[in-house]
Amino acid sequence: MKERYEELCRRRRSILEDRKVLTIHARTEPYREIWNRFSAVIDDYDDCEVILDAHHVAATIDGTVLYTGDYRHIIANRDLILSETSLYDVRGLGDRTGGRPPA
């Protein structure tokens, strides 16, 4: 059983290492104007970075949706995020229809 599991892990890893399947994102653009708008209302540095990374990806890939479990900082600021980024939508985890989750 252990050997089968390890083989499965090796196969999955080889797929992820194939750059035709997965590209690692590395943003170098600081997007300072957007950062300044977000950091004024979102007090979590990491959340601001996630939003900027998602914006950077969305600038390249139309229709990008950011799914998040962060209702406090990201979902709560959905309108601001959509107005300032290239994201198509911001949704909570499990939300397949879009828009705000029920209160």
**What digits encode the pLDDT tens for the residues 86-100?**
999 999 998 876 554
> Tell me: the pLDDT tens digits for 53-103?
999 999 989 999 999 999 999 999 999 999 999 999 999 998 876 554 444
> Cα–chain-centroid distance for residue 72?
15
Can you give the pLDDT at residue 102? 44
Amino acid at 73: H
Amino acid at 71: Y
- Return left, alpha or beta for 27; rule: phi > 0 is left, psi -120 to 50 is alpha, else beta: beta
> Tell me: the pLDDT tens digits for 5-50?
899 999 888 888 877 777 777 889 999 999 999 999 999 999 999 9
pTM reported for the whole predicted model: 0.71
Can you give the pLDDT at residue 103? 42
